Amino acid sequence: MTRYEIPDDYDGVVFEGTLMARAHTRRGGQPRWTELVLYRTEGDQYVISKIGRSIVYHQPDSACNTGVRTTVLALCERVEELAKLIDPNFNDEALYPEPCEKCRPPRIYDTDSPLDDNDVVDAELDRPQAEVCAPADVPERLRLRRNDGPGPSTSFMSSVATRVLATAAANDPLLRQAIRHIRQVS
């Protein structure tokens, strides 16, 4: 078993366990995406890590009022780390920090960019969430909820959550048994 420390906003969850499945929504050049990871703890609980990722940066003091001050160098290093999470065979051309389309800061990688490593931008941060639950609760915790107006909200399983659940259940008899539903009909 491996020791994991999973971020949850400003806190975290620490446990010994096994990574069961991982998937993300990033396609093409999307600058924002979601990553889902499911772990099984040594005590047969499950930890669901949901992280909203972003490589978008903003002009400091812009009307967007979004992001946290960071140097261009620190932003580039963070984006390189994210790229390695997405693709262990990462090459330097795979992922770049993306300027906000509203406040339009200078592009970092343009050859005539006025920005250098020590200049400051406002970078969007990752938004991590972690939940600990019993095996039978995993599917419900992976569901997304939508409230489209008056009346009850609806929930659904995204394709990424479905992929995580199916991958984990295929390799984990405890989870497979916990989510198995048999309907009796007459």
What does the block give as tokens for 176?
């497979």
Q: Which two tokens stand for residue 127?
A: 């938004």
Residues 1-34: tens digit of each pLDDT? 899 999 998 889 999 999 999 999 988 778 999 9
Q: What is the pLDDT of residues 27-38, one digit of tens each?
A: 877 899 999 999
CA atoms within 13 A on the CB side of 24: 18
The answer on 166 and 74 residing in a single domain is: no
What pLDDT score was predicted for residue 75? Answer: 93
Q: Does residue 107 sit in helix, strand or coil?
A: coil
164 and 136 in a single domain? The answer is yes
Q: What is the largest CA-CA distance in the chain?
A: 73
Both 44 and 135 in one domain: the answer is yes
Q: Are residues 145 and 92 in the same domain?
A: no
How many domains is the chain built from? 2
Domain termination residue (choose one: 74, 93, 123): 123
